[in-house]
Amino acid sequence: MVLAGDVAGLVIRPALEGIGVFGESDTEVTVCVAAGENWHAFVERSLRQGHYGLENLALIPGTVGAAPIQNIGAYGVELESFVYRVHAIDIASGEDLTLGAQDCAFGYRDSVFKHALRDRLVITAIDLKLPLQPHVNADYPSLAACLAEQGVASPTPADVFAAVVAIRSARLPNPADMPNAGSFFKNPMVDDGFASKLKADNPDMPVFAAGDGASKLSAAWLIEQCGWKGRVRGGVGVHDRHSLVLVNRGGGRGSELLALAADIRQSVADAFGVELEIEPRIYGTQA
Ligand SMILES: Cc1cc2nc3c(=O)[nH]c(=O)nc-3n(C[C@H](O)[C@H](O)[C@H](O)COP(=O)(O)OP(=O)(O)OC[C@H]3O[C@@H](n4cnc5c(N)ncnc54)[C@H](O)[C@@H]3O)c2cc1C
């Protein structure tokens, strides 16, 4: 989230802790994790216990309870592949609710919690089904390149975990040292025809097939082409190693950050005809 100004209202930080396995078959375990658990610590723990699948999602900052909100994803894997149920409290009625995976309407960095159920629930725990056999997913280009560089031909989940941690540590600023919200914009989805046209005009442009006639573009590439990488403006700026990450360099104001984001969006729209969508939730503005 981005705090762009003071937030008028009660702020609750769910700090519930606890992890329990409540179902096991020959192929998978069902794990219930409380919302206040640290996501990365849970990923590490799962791997140690031989509960696989989450290794690509290592080092994503934040809590377990926030993970379903934007269906966290990285290096070719998204949380939705593992979600069985989400437990929550309805803020208006105080009642306990349990949502099945289908009810969560997961999509790319998206879920029902950003739309129909936006700010209406406090998530208290999530149930995940995790495979007991490794299903290594190492096709994502930067992950595959890192493993190849390390000479790992048949990666184990532990190799994937280590490679993801290495890539992220090298490329992304630690929010504890330099405040940031990770990727500030979603990778834009466009129809295949428009993507082919852009590709013809820009042969270096990365384009990923997204199925159903859609293609995913790289927001980082588009921003970099518009000359924003490493640019500094007052207390805020665009990170010099990752053009998708906007940073507070110290003393930056929410209004400065949103003005920078607006100018980046405008220049990408002017240059490529592509609308960038902001990924984090913005609080503390009237907008
Ligand atoms: C350096 C960096 C790298 C990142 N990389 C990735 C990445 O690779 N992939 C990715 O998907 N994200 C990434 N992110 C974004 C971020 O890590 C995730 O969105 C994460 O889930 C945020 O967790 P949080 O606990 O900090 O949530 P917050 O930022 O505190 O909250 C996010 C939203 O969720 C709501 N929320 C949080 N907890 C609950 C709850 N228990 N019940 C109801 N609502 C709740 C909040 O109200 C808010 O709307 C990155 C962020 C940073 C800083």
pLDDT confidence of residue 285: 80
Which 3 state secondary structure label does DSSP give 218? coil
CA 33 to CA 36: how far, in whole Å?
9
Q: What's the whole-number mean pLDDT along residues 37-58? A: 98
Q: Do 265 and 276 form a contact (C-beta atoms < 8 A)?
A: yes
Q: Which residues contact 207 (CB under 8 A, 6 or more apart)?
A: 195, 198, 199, 215, 216, 217
pLDDT at 287 over 50: no
Q: Are 239 and 180 in contact (CB under 8 A)?
A: yes
- Report the nearest-CA residue for atom 22 of ligand 1: 62
CA 103 to ligand 1 centroid distance, Å: 20
List the CATH code of the domain at 18-137. Answer: 3.30.465.10
Whole-number Å distance between alpha carbons of 197 and 215: 12
The closest residue, in CA terms, to atom 45 on ligand 1 is 66
- CATH of the structural domain 180-283, one choice from 2.30.40.10, 3.40.50.720, 3.90.78.10, 3.40.50.970: 3.90.78.10
pLDDT over threshold 60, residue 187: yes
Average pLDDT over residues 21-27: 95
Position 286 scores a pLDDT of 54
Q: What pLDDT is attached to residue 41?
A: 98
Percentage of the chain lying above the pLDDT 90 cut: 93
Residues facing residue 100 across a β-bridge: 85
Q: Is 1 in the pocket of ligand 1 (CB under 6 A)?
A: yes
Average pLDDT, the chain: 96
- Over residues 81-137, the pLDDT tens digits come to 999 999 999 999 999 999 999 999 999 999 999 999 999 999 999 999 999 999 999
Identical topology for domains 18-137 and 180-283: no
CA atoms within 13 A on the CB side of 30: 11
For residue 126, what pLDDT is reported? 98
To which residue do tokens 């003071």 refer?
6
Indicate the domain borders of the chain. 18-137, 180-283
Q: How far is the CA of 46 from the centre of ligand 1 (A)?
A: 20
| Strand ranges (E), 7-152 | 19-24, 28-34, 73-74, 77-78, 83-90, 96-100, 121-131
pLDDT of 277 strictly over 50: yes
Residue among 2, 10, 69 whose CB has most ligand 1 atoms within 8 A, to mutate:
69
